[in-house]
Amino acid sequence: MENQNRRTVLKGMAVTGASIAAPSFFVRNAWAADFRNDPSKSKTAKFGFTVPLSGAYADEGADEVRALELAVKHLNGEGDGGMLKTFKPSVLKGNGVLGKKIEYVTGDTQTKSDMARSVAKRMVEKDGVIMWTGGSSSGEAVAMSALAQEIGVIFMCGLTHSNDTTGKDKRRYAFRHFFNAYMSGKALGPVLAKEYGKERKAYHLTADYTWGWTQEESMKNSTEALGWKTTAAVRTPLGAGDFSQYITPVLNSGADVLILNHYGKDMINSLTQAVQFGLRDKMVNGKKFEIVVPLFSELMAQGAGDAIKGILGTSNWDWQLPDAATKAFVKSFGAAYGQPPSQAAQTCYVQALLYANACEMAGTFYPPEVIKQLEGFKFDGLGNGPTEYRAADHQCMKDVLVVRGKQKPTNKFDLLEVVQVVPRSAVEYDPKIFGGELGPYTV
């Protein structure tokens, strides 16, 4: 009896299976269409924005949300279109993506990797997002890239600067538009040697997580290659707040340069405190003491106030660049929010557009096809000049800006000046040097 039952059930299943499968023999890509959160049956497609709205990088997160909301508006054909007008080659029409109106959900990652992962997971499982973007720390980015690969939903990284994101922790389902620590080191080194000379002793204060470590390593490598010596490299906990106990040892360490591998609030606090401790007025080894902040942005410059003036660093993008794309984006962002966008905002905005465009090119939301369109994609008109999404590691290759805190700002947003646009060729590297595997297309 039992046997008979099982047989009947199996037969039934076979028939059902065959009947479901049958039509798909005649439809192209029909198997491929079976993927997580497929929006093809719905009138809308949903994006997820995982951004830190609290914690050390909360300012960047808030600006990312502004940019992403603007990107959704532009993709849906609202507003003035921003960089949709300058982006080339683009098949975006301003009618949503593949005819689907874009909706979005936002979640606070609290600048914590575990929180970022669980927020993203919830967005995929509960809210049904087809892609998510955002994040302002490499800890978050690495955690979310791994998740993206596990659950087969594309993650377009927001602001993340660690070499690991597209190095040892790179994933097929994760893409980074932002530049990285290695490129910062390569771009900044020669400028430092030119401005401060080749005989310098550097003291590093480093945020104690993946980004800080790779930033410290890249800066050490590039400065030591120029003849600098490294006096000490001290790790500080993320979000330490009071850095005085780490800054006082610098005073009599014999170092004449302080390199702050900090970002966001950490950098604002450590730089302000370093200046309070009189580091910038000091003379050591017969040279003027200098502070270097390898990665900085307008938002941090705003927070740090006068302390940032004259300090050298690198940036992915700046709102005062003269190209038409930047102008269009700044105009559109400024009209909406009354302030220019930060580099965090720009990278997220660009990522949303790049993803949408890849879907249009692929003619489907099916992730493996979208990934293939993004890999090796060459484009221009998004504010960074000619750019390529390198297929081997999903890292965008483009020019890097060396910037300096402006001495005499003409208005409250005029905080950084571009010292040099370092061409792509000077910062390019072999993707193999950081190891790591992208992983498979289908999961």
Partner 1 sequence: MDSIVLQLLNGLDKGGAYALIALGLTLIFGTLGVVNFAHGALFMLGAFCAVSFQKLLTLSTKVKDESVTFFESYTDVPYLQMWFGDTGMKIIDYAVPLSILFTIPVMLLIGVSLERGLIRHFYRRPHADQILVTFGLAIVLQEIVKSYFGANPIPQAAPAAFAGSANVGELLGLGDSVVYPWWRLIYFAFSAAVVAIVFAFLRYTTFGMVVRAGMRDRETVGLLGINIQRRFTIVFGMAVVVAGIAGAMYTPILPPDYHMGMDFLVLSFVVVVVGGMGSLPGAVAAGFLLGILQSFASMNEIKGIIPGIDQIIIYLIAVVILLVRPRGLMGRKGVMED
Output the smallest distance, CB 99 to partner 1, in A.
Answer: 32
Closer to partner 1 by Cβ: residue 183 or 271: 271
* Nearest alpha-carbon partner for 247 in 208, 275, 219: 275
> Measured between alpha carbons, how far is residue 254 from residues 112, 134, 219, 227, 284 in Å?
35, 41, 19, 16, 7
Element (H, E) at 424: helix 424-427
Please, which residue, 3 or 411, has the CB nearer to partner 1?
Answer: 411
If the CB atoms of residues 246 and 296 are measured against partner 1, the closer one turns out to be 246
Identify which of residues 201 and 282 has a Cβ nearer to partner 1 in the complex.
Answer: 282
Whole-number minimum distance, CB 58 to partner 1, in Å? 5
Please tell me the distance from the alpha carbon of residue 306 to that of residue 308, in angstroms, as a whole number: 5
Least distance between partner 1 and beta carbon 73 (Å): 16
Residue 335 or 392 with smaller CB distance to partner 1: 335
Smallest gap from Cβ 421 to partner 1, in A, equals 20
Q: In whole angstroms, how close is the CB of 246 to partner 1 at the nearest point?
A: 7
Determine the Cα angle at 173 with ends 168 and 174, to 5°.
60
- In this structure, what token pair is assigned to residue 71? 């990107």
Supply φ then ψ for residue 79, to 5 degrees.
70, -165
Cβ of residue 294: shortest distance to partner 1, in angstroms?
Answer: 21
Q: Considering beta carbons, is residue 33 or 336 the nearer one to partner 1? A: 336
Which CB sits closer to partner 1, 147 or 258? Answer: 258
Nearest to partner 1 of 418, 443 (CB atom): 418
**Backbone dihedral angles phi then psi of residue 427, each to the nearest 5 degrees:** -115, 0
> Please, what is the minimum distance in Å from the beta carbon of residue 331 to partner 1?
6
Of 310 and 376, which has the nearer Cβ to partner 1? 310
Residue 300 or 352: the one with the smaller Cβ distance to partner 1 is 300
Helix (H) / strand (E) element for 129: namely none
Pairing of strands 400-405, 416-422: antiparallel
Helices 58-75 and 324-337 meet at what angle, rounded to 10? 100
- Residue 44 — left, alpha, or beta (φ > 0 → left; ψ -120 to 50 → alpha)? beta
Least Å distance, CB 251 to partner 1, is: 5
Cβ at position 316, least distance to partner 1 in Å: 20
In Å, how far are 30, 145, 240, 258, 434 from 170, measured between CA atoms?
29, 7, 29, 31, 10
- The two structure tokens encoding residue 125: 């499982």
Q: How many CB atoms lie within 10 A of CB 305?
A: 14
Sign of CA dihedral 342, 344, 346, 352: negative
| For partner 1, the closer CB: 303 or 367 | 303
CB of 52 to partner 1, least distance (A): 9
108 vs 169, beta carbon nearer partner 1 = 108
Q: Do 47 and 102 form a contact (C-beta atoms < 8 A)?
A: yes
Task: Give the shortest CB-165-to-partner 1 separation in angstroms.
Answer: 25
**Alpha-carbon gap, residue 347 to 68, rounded angstroms:** 10
What are the backbone angles phi and psi of residue 229, rounded to the nearest 5°? -110, 150
Burial classification of residue 239, based on how many CB atoms lie within 10 Å of its CB (0-12 exposed, 13-18 middle, 19 or more buried)? middle
Q: How far is the CB of 242 from partner 1 (least distance, A)?
A: 5
* Gap between the Cα atoms of 293 and 308, Å rounded: 9
Distance from the Cα of residue 66 to its chain's centroid: 15
- Contacts with partner 1, residue ranges (CB under 8 A): 53-55, 58-59, 232, 234, 237, 241-242, 244-246, 248-249, 251-253, 265, 268-269, 272-273, 276-278, 282, 303, 305, 327, 330-331, 334-335, 338-340, 410-413
List, as one string, the DSSP characters of 351-363. Answer: HHHHHHHHHHHHT
Return the number of other C-beta atoms located less than 10 Å from residue 259's C-beta: 27
